[in-house]
Amino acid sequence: MAQKIPDTDLELAPNEVPKGGAEAPKSGASTVAQRSVGDHAEIPIPSEARKGSTAIEVPASRSSISDASSLMHNLSIAPSMKDRRASRNSFGTSLPIPRSPRPSRLSLGPDAPGALRDILASQVQDLAKEKTKAAKNMAFAFDIDGVLLHGDKLIPQATRVMELLNGDNELGIKIPYILLTNGGGKTEVDRVDQISRILGHPISTQQFIQSHTPMQALSEYYETVLVVGGEGFKTRAAAEAYGFKNVVVPKDILAWDPSISPWRNFSEEERKQARPRDFDNMNFDAILVFADSRDYATDFQIIIDLLLSENGRLRTKAKDPTEKQMPIYFSQGDIIFTTDHKLPRMTQGLFRMAIEMMYKTLTGADLERVVYGKPELATYKYADEVMMSWMKEIHNEQVLPENIYMIGDNPASDIIGGNMYGWNTCLVRTGVFQGKDNDENSPANFGVFDNVLEAVQAAVRKELGTEFKFRWSENEKVKNALNGQGAAVE
């Protein structure tokens, strides 16, 4: 049975409490959670995974009901439809996340320093016990796009950050860090291989979280799922790696019935890779948007078709689609993100808002949906699990560092999420944020920096002292210690 995290473990910021005062699921519940929706009877919400589940259900930090009505002109909704309400989808105020550490795979990259360097570093750390303890008690969580990379291009200061944290410092110690991104669309293995090649430093899957990584816990609840977004068929591979039994992507449906998206030209190459089936006799359990759509028209059409369908079956339409709405999950809620283009580009949050408005227009009800990713608290709770696992990997100590620094470029996701979770937050000017002063709405509590290296150096100096050396070889005391002269490094 899935374990639930009590509300007291995840305090919500006042402006993030779900509208209407919705309560989070109570700890230890073994029955189906229920909620009254408008004048309707209480709607059952799935609250149990399959037998043997290791999932943790974390209270959500935002309402699961869309805000489409506040963004639409009143005339776009028929008067008779204005008072209708949608049924509650999915888990309402809790998001399942995985509990068990994922298998580690170290990505291909330059070789790490040899065994001799590790031995020498160990000797230095023995001579500087307090400083070593402090180094293990701090950690970093990096956003990727706009902090370390611009698309497939390296932000120059990121290379030096990797060197410093991987041991090129006066202690020769690895300072723990994870990558926490709202990007996605491929398997974790493929993504860390790509990032490692660009950074020039190996990244492990065990220190990497992309937007849909925590959604692997949903495989314990749903079997037949529509997975949307990403290039080609890569999101299918990701979903299957998570354990979903029956994964369908929009191109499978197009191959079965091209008329479902009337203006789409379906290539022979796509047809060869698609897996058409008898979808007339298949019931979908849920819709999972893993990444940005590469075909808005087709994806919009198929998603809306399923949301309006009878029991999740294509080419059907329910008499009242709001009575039992199909669960729909989005991996993140960002509105814009940075690429190698001069201006930020639109991303999944706007795609979700468009679907919400379509659903509102067609049904008169607000779409109920669940959003993962930053700044959702479930993502940060999962980051704790990953950080502890990584500490075990590099220091054989499965403990969570007390001083964690979130470094991001987006105040609306990286910074607000880190602030709510009690992390130190650093805002950099190499991505979405370009301002001179701190962001007015979601200010970083540790400060604003020109780039990621300046942020990391400031954090390290705060925790390890202003005289801490950022190179392994530049401290004469280290050299003396390694030569057996007994110099302490405190």
Q: Is 307 helix (H, G, I), strand (E, B) or coil?
A: helix
Report the amino acid identity of residue 80: S
Output the tens digit of pLDDT for each of the chain's 490 residues: 555 444 444 333 333 433 333 343 333 333 333 333 334 333 344 555 666 677 788 877 766 676 655 554 443 333 344 343 333 334 444 788 887 566 556 554 444 556 666 777 777 777 778 999 999 999 999 999 999 999 899 999 999 999 999 999 899 899 999 999 999 999 999 999 999 999 999 999 999 999 999 999 999 999 999 999 998 899 999 999 999 999 999 999 999 999 998 888 777 888 888 999 999 999 999 999 999 999 999 999 999 999 999 999 999 999 999 998 999 999 999 898 778 888 888 889 999 999 999 999 999 999 999 999 999 999 999 999 999 999 999 999 999 999 999 999 999 999 999 999 999 999 999 999 999 999 999 999 999 999 999 999 999 999 999 999 998 864 454 455 556 554 444 4
Q: Report DSSP state, residue 99.
A: -
Question: Exposure pattern of 377-406 as b/e (b: 16+ CB <10 Å)?
Answer: bbbbbbbebbbbbbbebbbeeeeebeebbb
Per-residue pLDDT at 240:
97
H-helix or E-strand spanning residue 95: strand 94-97
- Rg from Cα positions in the chain: 24
Q: What angle do CA 232, 237, 239 make, to 5 degrees?
A: 115
pTM of the model: 0.78
Per-residue pLDDT at 99:
74
Q: Which CATH number fits domain 213-330: 3.40.50.1000, 3.40.50.2000, 3.30.70.890, 3.40.640.10?
A: 3.40.50.1000
Beta 336-337 vs 345-346: how paired, if at all?
antiparallel
Per-residue pLDDT at 34:
37
Q: Which CATH number fits domain 134-211+377-472: 3.40.50.1000, 3.40.50.300, 3.60.20.30, 3.10.20.740?
A: 3.40.50.1000
Q: Report DSSP state, residue 108.
A: S
How far from the centroid of its chain's Cα atoms is residue 163's Cα? 25
Residues 6+ apart with CB under 8 A from 445: 419, 424, 425
> What is the secondary structure of 21-57 as a DSSP string?
GPPPPPTT--S-EEE--TTSPPEEE----STT---EE
d(CA 138, CA 135): 6
Per-residue pLDDT at 272:
87
Range(s) for CATH 3.40.50.1000 in the chain? 134-211+377-472, 213-330
d(CA 469, CA 467): 6
